[in-house]
Structure 1
Amino acid sequence: INRACAVGKVCAIVCSTDKNFMVPVGGAIITSPSETIIQNIGKLYPGRANASPILDLFITLLSMGLNGYQELLTDRMRLVNRFQTKLTTLATKYNERVLVTYPWNSISFGMTLYTLSDNDLSNKRNGDGDGDPNPTQNDTLTISSATKTKAQDEISYFGSMLFTRCVSGTRVVPTNIHKTIAAGDVQYEFEGFGSSTDEYPHPYVTMACAIGLPESELDDFFGRMEKCLKDFFVKKKKRLNKKEMERQKKEKKETFEKVNTIGKDVESLQI
């Protein structure tokens, strides 16, 4: 962000107060490299919004103090290496890869989710996993629309599993999602909806080593994440076994019908 501000590509930055100051969700701070922009935004403010976010932030800053807030920032940086190590271990165990965002981004981390999607899609991925939004030749996937939809459903289902198991702060992003959002009479088309660019080559999950994260919760987070992955594969195996049983049952039925047909033909010939 600092680099983008230096070359004049950023007008304003919106910072959620809950993510940066550990207050209830609902407020944000707007900053800008341009004082004029901030003054213009301030003039547009109607003054009738709820004061609760401001009050929450004010009380929190008073209770923390500058030293308390700086200590939280120091503690967060101390946990970054541990967070990255545990994520790498988890990714390796499940044949996934950590998307390379560090050292440019020491807060948010990403992990691919190829093994969770359909096998046809998983077997066709040989990407570099470096977080590059521009796919390499090996990243290119030639798959049917039905396979894409199935893979999207698998990835989205994993996201719902995380949510129901009280794993908050993660975001699961499937590939090839197309969304149309209407704003009045205008419709906006989004390719690769949920990711930061069109046709991102990797389905992935994001997570953050955020301010206020104690070491005990970090360990608990990865414990729940791994348990969720195990549960996912157990359920997926059951679904696959059920499909296989249905396929075998269908084959037996077809074989039985063929035998009956042949038997009837033989009887007709004998008559």
Structure 2
Amino acid sequence: MLDFNIEGLIPKNMEKRGELVLNEYLKEIEDVFNHRKIPENGIDDEKIKLFLKFLSMMDTDKDPKSVRIGEREARTYSKIHEELSSGFCHGIGRSGNLVDPQPKASGASIMYALTNKILESFFKQLGLNVHAIATPISTGMSISLCLSAARKKYGSNVVIYPYASHKSPIKAVSFVGMNMRLVETVLDGDCVYVPVEDIENAIKKEIELGNRPCVLSTLTFFPPRNSDDIVEIAKICEIYDIPHIINGAYAIQNNYYLEKLKKAFKYRVDAVVSSSDKNLLTPIGGGLIYSTDAEFIKEISLSYPGRASATPVVNTLVSLLSMGSKNYLELVKNQKNSKKLLDELLNDLSKKTGGKFLDVESPIASCISVNSDPVEIAAKLYNLRVTGPRGIKKTDHFGNCYLGTYTHDYIVMNAAIGVRTEDIVNSISKLEKILL
């Protein structure tokens, strides 16, 4: 595309040497275009900036001879606007389809198509052979897109929701105007969960009432709420031929969740929603939707109204290019080690305080029972500059995901991807000072 004539300006040997350096510098960028997959090793920031600049310069708002008289011409008042959007001021998509190429935004359209190709290759590296799109909206709103697509394609009008005390998916159902049937949790030892047979009974009841249900299951959540048994739910949804959407907000960062997804995809899973910030270390505001059903992914993209900001998608692309598959797998390994350390330290602390390390299966978070107000303990941790822990009272029906009285007051602490070893050690040290 670029053809600079430098012949005769410098000696031939210097010309060849310069071209060698330039070609070597641009090789990683060229590989992104040619191979359209996540690089094994991350690309440095300067090259990513050049890559984004190159694409954004293809949009019509960069054309010095363009006569722009439309109501949407990517006019910006401040240079900061352009910097914050990486130059993609026209955004992505068209009013009828999120992934449609936009005539005024050739570069942004290429950027988005490349992002989705790279995202799919990333999932393939993780063992998930899926179709995927990066969305310019976070998890809750991405779930609403999936539900809207289920309503349009399958006529779904009721959402079967195994209860998890998370406002985003509950609001997502309300946002698309669908009714919800909550399936209540039960208590088993320290664990709160929803029996699969209760989910099936809820499906039967809705079908008997003449409704067309779909299931919104939860794969990732705070303990003591266990993950839903998405494999068994997927089997049930296949039997009853109803859509199944999975909320897997932070499912990509741990093999425990990935293995469950691999098994569930053998049955009925229409789409999984994950967060870009929780998994790919981006600023908040982006989502990842993936499925083995290419047609349903297309239906989801058709559910998005209007154009969208390119910035959340650019953030996803930047993370994928910057980390590369090798570094990401290393982060996944570190996350597993961090969780092991968190468990060991909390277990030791529980013995010192006379509390209990709660026996709940979670690869991300851990719980310890406390003998004083857990909300106050969490507040004290916050004042000691420790962010993240949740303090839940046993009478807090919402926080426990359980409508009865839970067995313990407790503190939940996380060891999510990107956490530092020193942060885990320091947080437990400060918690110990509060409890003892």
Alignment partner for residue 72 of structure 1, among 299, 313, 331? 331
Alignment partner for residue 216 of structure 1, among 422, 427, 434? 422
Unaligned 5+ runs, structure 1: 117-153, 178-191, 231-271
* Alignment deviations for residues 18-45 of structure 1 (CA, whole Å, 9 cap, x no partner): 2212222222223456555543322211
How high is the sequence identity, in percent, across the aligned residues? 27
Aligned runs of 1:193-212 on 2, under 5 Å?
A: 193-199=398-404, 200-212=406-418
Unaligned 5+ runs, structure 2: 1-218, 220-227, 238-243, 248-272
SS in structure 2 of the partner of residue 11 of structure 1: strand
AA aligned opposite 2:391: V
Change (3 A) 1:229 1:39: farther
Change (3 A) 1:88 1:59: same
Aligned runs of 1:46-125 on 2, under 5 Å?
A: 46-102=305-361, 105-113=362-370, 115-116=371-372
Aligned runs of 1:1-271 on 2, under 5 Å?
A: 1=219, 3-5=229-231, 7-8=233-234, 10-13=244-247, 14-32=273-291, 35=294, 37-102=296-361, 105-113=362-370, 115-116=371-372, 154-177=373-396, 192-199=397-404, 200-230=406-436
**8 Å Cα contact 1:11-1:34 kept in structure 2:** no
AA aligned opposite 2:363: S
**8 Å Cα contact 1:11-1:37 kept in structure 2:** no
| Cα shift at 1:66 | 0.5
Give TM-score, length-normalised by structure 1. 0.58
**8 Å Cα contact 1:90-1:226 kept in structure 2:** yes
AA aligned opposite 1:198: L
CA root-mean-square deviation: 2.4
| Cα shift at 1:3 | 4.5
AA aligned opposite 2:411: V
Task: Give me the whole-angstrom Cα distance separating, in 2, the residues matched to 1:34 and 1:171.
Answer: 37
**8 Å Cα contact 2:367-2:410 kept in structure 1:** yes
Task: Give me the whole-angstrom Cα distance separating, in 1, the residues matched to 2:275 and 2:281.
Answer: 10
SS in structure 2 of the partner of residue 193 of structure 1: helix
| Cα shift at 1:214 | 2.5
AA aligned opposite 1:4: I
- Which structure has more RCO (C-alpha within 8 Å, separation ≥ 6)? 2
* Alignment deviations for residues 198-253 of structure 1 (CA, whole Å, 9 cap, x no partner): 123322221111111222222122122223334xxxxxxxxxxxxxxxxxxxxxxx
**8 Å Cα contact 2:392-2:409 kept in structure 1:** yes
SS in structure 2 of the partner of residue 110 of structure 1: strand
Task: Give me the whole-angstrom Cα distance separating, in 2, the residues matched to 1:34 and 1:7.
Answer: 18
**8 Å Cα contact 1:23-1:57 kept in structure 2:** yes
SS in structure 1 of the partner of residue 400 of structure 2: coil
AA aligned opposite 1:205: I
Q: Which residue of 1 aligns with 2:198?
A: none
Task: Give me the whole-angstrom Cα distance separating, in 1, the residues matched to 2:293 and 2:410.
Answer: 35
Give TM-score, length-normalised by structure 2. 0.37
AA aligned opposite 1:100: D
Task: Give me the whole-angstrom Cα distance separating, in 2, the residues matched to 1:47 and 1:67.
Answer: 36
Task: Give me the whole-angstrom Cα distance separating, in 2, the residues matched to 1:32 and 1:204.
Answer: 36
* Alignment deviations for residues 87-133 of structure 1 (CA, whole Å, 9 cap, x no partner): 1011111111111124xx211111112x11xxxxxxxxxxxxxxxxx
Change (3 A) 1:80 1:12: closer
**8 Å Cα contact 2:350-2:357 kept in structure 1:** yes
Change (3 A) 1:219 1:78: same
Moved more, 3-12 or 210-219: 3-12
Change (3 A) 1:156 1:56: same
Change (3 A) 1:159 1:79: closer
AA aligned opposite 1:67: K
**8 Å Cα contact 2:375-2:390 kept in structure 1:** no
